[in-house]
Amino acid sequence: MNIVLEINEKDRSLMDEFLSKYPNDVEIISVVRFDGSSDLLHAFITITTITLPLVAKIIIELIQANKHRRITKDGMEITGFSEKDTSKILEKLLEKEEHE
């Protein structure tokens, strides 16, 4: 299963641990806006039972800091969720993916 996290460029350090542990499971792309600014990043992440805890940790850190957050899966966008709901959503998506 793959998800996309949209994060601010200034929060890129949140991805450092993930990049060091699982470099083959994440791709970070800088989003360039029409005006040429690039303050957003899209992190394309492969979710597995091994990477799930770290992905949940990153999302929870964003939630706790009241940062903008969004998860996109198969064209469905999920926004405005709590720390507890984030973990549940990711776990359910992973379970569904494993059974398909």
pLDDT band at 50 (very low <50, low <70, confident <90, very high): confident
Q: Which residues contact 12 (CB under 8 A, 6 or more apart)?
A: 28, 41
Q: Is residue 93 part of a domain?
A: no
Counted domains in the chain = 1
- Greatest Cα pair distance in the chain: 43
- Mean of per-residue pLDDT scores for the chain: 79
22 vs 64, which has greater pLDDT? Answer: 22
Separation between Cα atoms, residue 36 and residue 83, nearest integer Å: 33
Confidence check: pLDDT of 40 > 80: yes
Q: Is residue 61 part of a domain?
A: yes
Q: Is residue 76 part of a domain?
A: yes
Q: Is residue 94 part of a domain?
A: no
Q: What is the CATH number of the domain that holds 8?
A: 3.30.70
- Boundaries of domain holding 52: 2-82
Q: Is residue 73 part of a domain?
A: yes
**In the chain, % of residues over pLDDT 70:** 83
| pTM, to two decimals | 0.61
Separation between Cα atoms, residue 64 and residue 49, nearest integer Å: 23
Q: Is residue 52 part of a domain?
A: yes
- Reduced to 3 states (helix: H, G, I; strand: E, B; else coil), residue 47 is coil
Q: Is residue 90 part of a domain?
A: no
Give 56-91 pLDDT, tens digit per residue.
888 777 777 765 556 676 777 776 666 677 777 777
